[in-house]
Structure 1
Amino acid sequence: MTHTDTGAGTALDARFATARQVADAVLYEGYVLYPYRASAAKNRMRWQFGVLMPEGWCEDSGEHCVQRTECLLEPRPGAELRICLRFLRAQRRTVQAALPEGGWAQADRLELADRVLVPWDEGVEEQVQLTVPVDALFDGGVELPFTRAAAELTEPVTEDGAVVGRLVRQLGRVDGVLRLTAVELPGPYGLVRLVAETANGYRQDRPVPDGREAALPHALVAVHLLLGLTAGRFLSMTDPPEWARPAAVECRNERGWPVLAGNDGGDDVLLCSPIILEDHPRIAPESPGALYDSLEIDEILALRTATLTEQEKREARGTDDRAAAVIDLADSLPPEIMERLHGAVRGLREVTAPPDSPLETATPWWNPEADSSVDPATDHVLVDGVAVAAGSRVVLKPGLRRTDAQDLFLIGRRATVEAVIQDVDGGVHVAVTLEDDPGTELRRLQGRFWYFQPDELALLEES
């Protein structure tokens, strides 16, 4: 077993190349939000994703100190597991102004010609790397403690050649532990369940931080794992093979979402993210850079950022170096790059008219009249062997497969079927409205429904 207990400078295994791009976006998701100023309300309550707090502080706060990942793999003989644990530390930056008589005084802001410096928590990247034979994980597994020492740094602030202040950066001590165990599951496939736990190791013999702001310097922030297999494959946890589905359902993931993330769609790398992702996530090639709000809205963010006043841009530049980079990026985007952000076509397929029908007179495929054999108002689908159609009453039971964050809030809710719809690929979707939704009539008028597949429904037993 080998491990490298280092900071962000250590090179990652080449098999993590594609996953690293997504992992970087995960690491800084929500780090600083538009309008990129510390004074903005949305930037005052920070560090929301993948935060592991000291254990003693978590007991009464409702936050957590452990992240747990369980996944399935089919290792070949002699396979090694390569792990990279990545997280941020909250580095507290305060501002001090230079006094005329010498010395320093704490300041809420320091006005400079190009920026306005204010107190702020910066993110410092950390990582722990480990390589271990899969066979070594079966009997008791492996435990790797790690520590990051406290530190204090000062940086002078100058303007026109004179020192006008300084920045004081403080890092609290961070302790953690990475635990890895594996269990070989019964069956003919050589299936293995891997359990990876990352925990904040802040020791109980130290004083418990008083309040979230005091605890953050000792927290692991935006914690995520990159797992690489040298021989064999990981199985998808969101859409596993049918034979592995029972084993996937039994896996327990807490504050982590494992997805396949290998190069070129490979299954030898798994990314466990604190944010829900799909298998093989990718950064859009049109994206000009990190904007930290969510990469689907680069165009509007770039346009809004470019319209900030010069004073607002000065405040953003002084908030954080990454915020300053966003301002400079928005100010420098050429028209051809902005045009790329307006939309992209990922794939095309040929659409032809029905047989023996002139193309110019054919009913378009997307028009319901193109196929008179289907009618959403009268079609039905079998649920538990019973025909379900418009007007049927059901209970929603979205499972882990295909379920998004909004669906999770609807588990067990009662609903009325509004239509049974077949898409052009032959899939069946059931449109429903919630029985306790006060906006149901408005949704019907607008044709706005919740959509589920038949296996995500159960018949409502009439009382």
Structure 2
Amino acid sequence: MTATAFAPQTEERFALARQVADAVLFEGYVLYPYRASAAKNRLRWQFGVLVPPGWGADREEHDFQHTECLMEPKAGATLSVELRFLHARRRTVQRLRPDGDFENVPELPLEDRVLMPWDEGGEERVEVVARVEELLGDGVTVPFRRPVREDAEPVLDEAGRTVGRLLRRCEEVSGELRLSAVELDGPYRVMRLTAVVENTTAWTPPDGGGDRDAALPHSLVASHLLMALSAGSFVSMTDPPEWAKGAIAGCRNLHTWPVLAGEPGRADLVLSSPIILEDHPAIAPESPGALYDATEIDEILALRTAALTDDEKREARGTDERAAAVIDLADSMPPEVLERLHGAVRSLRETTRPGTTAHAAPSVGGFSDGFPDEHGVPRPDTPWWDPASDAGFDPAHDRVLVDGRSLGAGSRVTLRPGLRRTDAQDLFLQGRTARVEAVLHDVDGAVHLAVTVEGDPGADIRREQGRFLYFQPDEITPLEDDA
């Protein structure tokens, strides 16, 4: 086992996956309107925060992540693992006094920006390469430590004179990365890989108290793993083959979500993320740059950012280098780039798999009518479905057979969202009862049930507006008491 740089071919594969992993790393790093004074930027870093064990007890955040997935390594294969996280760097702003001393200030106005105290995030990596055989039994444990670091940066005005300084301090953090594997019984050589990331920092809050801001400098922020096999493949956790479903169901994943990553069609790389993703997530090609805002929608954020006042932009530029880059991006975005953000059609292109556009969450969306031409561009004057095919369907009266029961508008069902199609919101509806409002047929011949959840105080409004939740027949169970 070695804690060293990766082989060139492994580094190349990781470089591609890091495009998505960066979106995980900086998800919610700085939210629109990108100013330190904004209320929603005062509660930082919501995903993958591994707090020190002395603070995390009896709180909702945890000091570890536990990943389990299946792999089919070939003989002599090695496993390369990269742990990535942010290390909070607390920044203090000081002004130079006439007597030559410095004093802390809540802000320091300059010509082009306004500097304010802020927690910056510095990327940290722990890299490990181990032979798969080493992982059997007790496996391998890799401890790591980042020491206390301090630095001072002078602040100059437009004339080049020192008017203040920025003091930055990183607190010590330490942790462990534990890797192990167990060979499973069966006709195939399959192993269950376990990867645990734990914060072992010895810091404890004074008097047993302390708030979250005090714990963040001692935390592993936005922690996630990239894992690659040199020879062999991983098994999809969300769409496994039939023979692997039992073993997949037995895998435990705590505070993390492993998916296949890298090039579509390959299965030798896994991203274990604190954010729920699907296999082979990818950055939307229309996205001109990271905007760091949760579930970012580039067009709206770009327009709103460009509309900030000059004073607001000065504060944003002084908040963080990444916030300054967002302001510059919005100000310099040409019309043709902004136009591309307005919408993209993917479902009509055979080369694009549905649902693979993400910037941690989808960056752009939208639809257009028309069959695609030879370049995949829709022809807006050509209907993309046969209007005559709508004849004979009546959503309010149509029925569908589910588990031998005929269901239609008014039927009561239990929601069982399917794992492969489930998003984060659907997970909260697991086991809830609902009322079928309509039975719908799409242009591909699939059946969808429009439902309202029982006990939802907004159900009447949803019916009036025709805004329902939609599930397929295999995602619901008829209730026995339904007439």
Q: Calculate the TM-score normalised by the size of structure 1.
A: 0.91
CA distance in 2, matches of 1:97, 1:206: 30
Matched, 1:273 2:273: yes
* Secondary structure class of the residue paired with 2:297: helix
In structure 1, the partner of 2:304 is: 304
Correspondences of 1:20-419 after superposition (within 5 Å): 20-159=18-157, 160-203=159-202, 210-294=210-294, 296-346=296-346, 347-348=348-349, 365=385, 367=387, 370-372=389-391, 374-419=393-438
Q: Which moved more, 1:235-244 or 1:438-447?
A: 438-447
How many residue pairs were aligned?
450
Decide whether aligned partners of structure 1 residues 300 and 364 sit closer, same or farther in structure 2, where only a CA change above 3 A counts: closer
Once the two structures are TM-superposed, the CA of residue 103 in structure 1 deviates from its matched residue by 1.2
Where structure 1 has 5 or more consecutive residues not aligned to the other structure, the ranges are 353-361
Decide whether aligned partners of structure 1 residues 5 and 19 sit closer, same or farther in structure 2, where only a CA change above 3 A counts: closer
Once the two structures are TM-superposed, the CA of residue 62 in structure 1 deviates from its matched residue by 2.0
Code of the aligned partner of 1:365: W
* Secondary structure class of the residue paired with 1:13: helix
CA distance in 2, matches of 1:318, 1:12: 37
In structure 2, the partner of 1:462 is: 481
8 A Cα contact 1:363 1:370, kept in partner: no
Where structure 2 has 5 or more consecutive residues not aligned to the other structure, the ranges are 351-369, 373-381
Decide whether aligned partners of structure 1 residues 328 and 15 sit closer, same or farther in structure 2, where only a CA change above 3 A counts: same
Q: Which moved more, 1:144-153 or 1:70-79?
A: 70-79
Q: Which moved more, 1:413-422 or 1:189-198?
A: 413-422
In structure 2, the partner of 1:357 is: none
Decide whether aligned partners of structure 1 residues 345 and 364 sit closer, same or farther in structure 2, where only a CA change above 3 A counts: closer
* Secondary structure class of the residue paired with 1:35: coil
CA distance in 2, matches of 1:41, 1:11: 44
CA distance in 2, matches of 1:173, 1:5: 23
* Secondary structure class of the residue paired with 2:133: helix
Superposition RMSD on alpha carbons, in Å? 2.5
Code of the aligned partner of 1:244: A
Decide whether aligned partners of structure 1 residues 249 and 429 sit closer, same or farther in structure 2, where only a CA change above 3 A counts: farther
Once the two structures are TM-superposed, the CA of residue 257 in structure 1 deviates from its matched residue by 1.3
Q: Which moved more, 1:422-431 or 1:319-328?
A: 422-431
Once the two structures are TM-superposed, the CA of residue 281 in structure 1 deviates from its matched residue by 0.9
Once the two structures are TM-superposed, the CA of residue 175 in structure 1 deviates from its matched residue by 0.6
Q: Calculate the TM-score normalised by the size of structure 2.
A: 0.88
Once the two structures are TM-superposed, the CA of residue 385 in structure 1 deviates from its matched residue by 3.1
Once the two structures are TM-superposed, the CA of residue 365 in structure 1 deviates from its matched residue by 3.1
CA distance in 1, matches of 2:43, 2:186: 48
Give a deviation string over 1:198-245, Cα, whole Å, max 9, x none: 111113789667221111110000001001111111111111112212
8 A Cα contact 1:209 1:215, kept in partner: no
Q: Which moved more, 1:26-35 or 1:207-216?
A: 207-216
Once the two structures are TM-superposed, the CA of residue 420 in structure 1 deviates from its matched residue by 2.6
CA distance in 2, matches of 1:150, 1:372: 71
CA distance in 2, matches of 1:216, 1:62: 14
Q: Between the two proteins, what is the percent identity of the paired residues?
A: 62
Code of the aligned partner of 1:221: V
8 A Cα contact 1:88 1:221, kept in partner: yes
Decide whether aligned partners of structure 1 residues 364 and 321 sit closer, same or farther in structure 2, where only a CA change above 3 A counts: closer
In structure 1, the partner of 2:360 is: none
Give a deviation string over 1:3-37, Cα, whole Å, max 9, x none: 1399xxx9971111321100111111110111110
Once the two structures are TM-superposed, the CA of residue 386 in structure 1 deviates from its matched residue by 2.6
In structure 2, the partner of 1:433 is: 452
8 A Cα contact 1:92 1:171, kept in partner: yes
8 A Cα contact 1:5 1:146, kept in partner: no
CA distance in 2, matches of 1:308, 1:339: 20
